[in-house]
Structures are given as structure tokens and as C-alpha cells.
Structure 1
Amino acid sequence: MRPTDHLRELAGEDWIAATTHPFCAELAEGTLDLDKMRWYLAQDYQFIDGFVRLLASAIAHAPSLADSVPAAQFLALVTGPENTYFLRSFEALGMDEAAQTPPPAAPTEGFIALMAEAAASGRYELMLAVLVVAEWVYLSWATPVNPPKEDLPFYFAEWITLHAGEGFEGVVDYLRGQLDAVWATLSDEAKAEVEALFLRAAKLERAFWDASYAA
């Protein structure tokens, strides 16, 4: 079993809940309440800064240039098309500046803190643990509903296509491959730390979906 499959199995119900959430199902059907989507987008956008810093830290700690290039290419996607998607969606959904910048909810604060902790650790395996959860969860829910229904507004459809398809599959394969490779070099204590961070990230992903659906 791949180490990342082992980690996913450890996450158990949190992983299943995060990747099969009613929020995602209703988004894919186009039936999601728009106030829920507004809340979700405003909260999710607050992750961008911390995510960029975490991904940049992982690039800096990659073992070689070849190991860092896919992450650098993904960083350009996050700061380009994905960032633009948020801005376009805010406008289309009639969200003024106050609506775009609400106080962070508890799961938002928790995941931001987790990303900062991983980035500050200086340890590649801990950075990867959080990155793998963040991206693999999205690939897992988006893939079954891609391509999106033809009549979906772009703020639903593009959120699916940004997180599915060959390009994004490659990102997740790369991140998983990096974590699988480094796993063999870790002590039992270090592996336990990776497991703990992976499980915390999965629990926060589930809590974020729950909070978004309850908004």
C-alpha cells in the first residue's frame, strides 16, 4: 500500500465526509443555496495567502529542481486562474468588499494556522502532509462530477473544472509521489507526526464543508 493510501485510510470517516459532502453534491447539481456559496467563497479565499506561503515553502525545501518544478507550475495556477475565479465570482454573486472579507470562521482559522505551522516547521514531509490533504480532497469530490452540467453558472462549473481533469490529477499525483518518496526516509516518530498532521487537516476539511453548508 502506498503511504498516502495508508494516510487516507487513517483519516477514515473524516475523509469520506469531506469528499462526499452534500455541499459538493448540491454545487454540482446547481441547487446549492447561493448564500452558502457566498459564505464558502469568502471564507475559502482567506486560505490563498497561507496556501501560497506553504506551497512556496515546499518548493524551497524540495530535494531537487526536478522535484520543485511541478509545484512551481501549480503555484502559478493558484495565483493566476484560481485567484481570478474568486474575483469574478465575487462580482457575479453581488458581493461587496464587506461580504468578501468576513471574519474567519473557526475551521478557516484552524486551517490557516495548520498551514502556517507546516510552513514554519522547515520539514518537507509536514508541508506535504497538509498539501496532499488540501488538494486530494478536492480532486476526490470533483472528479465524479466532471465535466460539469452544461447549464451550471461559471461559479459552480469552474470550481469543478479547476479541481478535476488531467492537469489537476497530475498535481495530486505529484504531491502524493513526493510524500510517498520521503516517507521511506522517515523515522517512526517522524511518520507519526505526519500522520497526526494529515488527520488534523482531514478533520478541518470536513469541518469547513460542514460550516459552509450550515451557513
Structure 2
Amino acid sequence: MSFFERLKAAASAEWRAYTEHPFTSGMADGSLDEAAFRHYLIQDYLFLIEFARAYALSVYKSPTLADMREAAAGLSAILDVEMNLHVKLCAGWGLSPGDLEQAPPAVETLAYTRYVLDAGMRGDLLALKVALAPCVIGYAEIAAQLAARPAAYAATNPYRVWIAEYAGAPYQEVAATARRHLEDLAQRYATPAREAELIAIFTEATRLEANFWDMGWRGCVSNRP
């Protein structure tokens, strides 16, 4: 079993809660309330700003030039590709990049981003990449699952652009590269003595990812009590 699969197995309940969330199911069939998706997308834009800082930190934490280049490529993918998707989607609601940057961060956004950055500051590159893995690798897995559903790419599904972005070959390769690098780091730096520490980081980051979906889901008017 690969290192990443061992992490997933150890955090199986948290991983299921994250990758099989009602929020993403609503994107797959187009039933998700637009207000919920808009709230999520704005918060995810703020999250990506901090996620980019975490990738910049991974450059500093990199022990080799190859590690630095991998981190720099991930940083570019966030700043030059992924954030642009959010800007394009939000433009349809009349929101400018400035509007997105000035939005107040939700508690869930702060909790998740601070946790990842703290894990990186306290630990080595492997610990940081374990904290990043649920997002960068998990989104690829979730999107691939959603893309396989019948209504995912229907013209009537307003979330088909989001699904296509993360299920498409460019992002899938970003995630595959991140996974290969994680496995390489684990071979170099993971020891039996560190296993519990790394599993704890991965489990908490995955739980915080599920909380991020919860934040968006609570924005759905039809699901409010």
C-alpha cells in the first residue's frame, strides 16, 4: 500500500465525510443552491490565497532544488490557473477580484488555512505536504467521481465548469504530480516513529476540508432549519 493510501485508510471516516459530502453531490446533479456555491467559491478564493502562501513556505522548506521546483510549480498552478477559475465564475455574479479579496473570511477558512500553515512552520516539508494533500489530491479524486455521474456535464448543470476544471487532464496531472512527490518525500523522511504524527496531520486536514463543505452547505437556503 502506498503512503497516501495508508493515510487515507487511517483516516477513512474523515475521508468519506469529505469526498462523499452532500455539497459535492449537489454539484454533480445541479441541485446545489447557487447561494451555497457562491459562498463556498468566495471563501475558497480566500483559502487559495493562504494555500499559495503554504506552497511558498514549501519552497523554503525544500531540502533539494528538485523539491523547490516542484513547490514553485504548485504555487504557479494556484496563482495562475486555479484562482482564475474562481474569478471567471464569480464575474457572472458581478463580483470583481477586489470584491473577492475584501470578503471577510469564515471561521472555517481561518481554521483550515491556519492549521496548514502551522503544520508547515512546525514541521518539515513532508509534514507540510501531508497537510496539503487532502486538498490538492482530494479535489482531483472528488471531481473524477462527480464527472462519472450522468448529469455532471449536462447543459443545465450550472456546476459543470467547476467539475470540468478539476476533473480535466491539467488539474488531474497537478494532483498526480503532488501525489508522486508525496510518495518520494515519504520514502526519504517517513519513519515508523513518525507515522502517528503524519496520520494525525492528515486526519485533521481532512476533517477541516469536510468542515469547509459544511460551511458551504449551510449557505443553502433549502437546507436551513
Shorter-normalised TM-score: what interval? 0.7 to 0.9
Paired residues, what number?
214
Q: 1:204 aligns with which of 199, 203, 208?
A: 208
Equivalent position of 1:176 in the other structure = 179
In 2, the alpha carbon distance for the partners of 1:200 and 1:100 equals: 26
Task: Report the RMSD for the aligned CA atoms in angstroms.
Answer: 2.4
Q: Deviations over 1:27-62 (max 9, x none)?
A: 122221111011101111111221111112223333
In 1, the alpha carbon distance for the partners of 2:82 and 2:69 equals: 19
Q: 1:146 touches 1:165 (CA, 8 Å); kept in 2?
A: no
In 2, the alpha carbon distance for the partners of 1:187 and 1:179 equals: 14
Higher mean Cα deviation, 68-77 or 126-135? 68-77
AA matched with 1:92: G
In 2, the alpha carbon distance for the partners of 1:44 and 1:152 equals: 24
TM-score, structure 1 length as denominator? 0.87
Equivalent position of 1:191 in the other structure = 195
Deviation at 1:109, TM superposition (A): 1.4
TM-score, structure 2 length as denominator? 0.83
Q: 1:50 touches 1:115 (CA, 8 Å); kept in 2?
A: no
Is 2:164 the counterpart of 1:158?
no
Q: 2:45 touches 2:100 (CA, 8 Å); kept in 1?
A: no
Deviation at 1:209, TM superposition (A): 0.7
Q: Which aligned pairs between 1:110-125 and structure 2 lie closer than 5 A?
A: 110-121=111-122, 123-125=124-126
Equivalent position of 1:6 in the other structure = 6
Deviation at 1:100, TM superposition (A): 6.6
Q: 1:8 touches 1:15 (CA, 8 Å); kept in 2?
A: yes
Q: 2:46 touches 2:100 (CA, 8 Å); kept in 1?
A: no
> Which structure 2 segments of 5+ residues have no match?
220-225
Q: Percent identity?
A: 27
> Which structure 1 segments of 5+ residues have no match?
none
SS of residue paired to 1:149: coil
Q: Deviations over 1:130-149 (max 9, x none)?
A: 11111122111100233741
Change (3 A) 1:165 1:98: closer
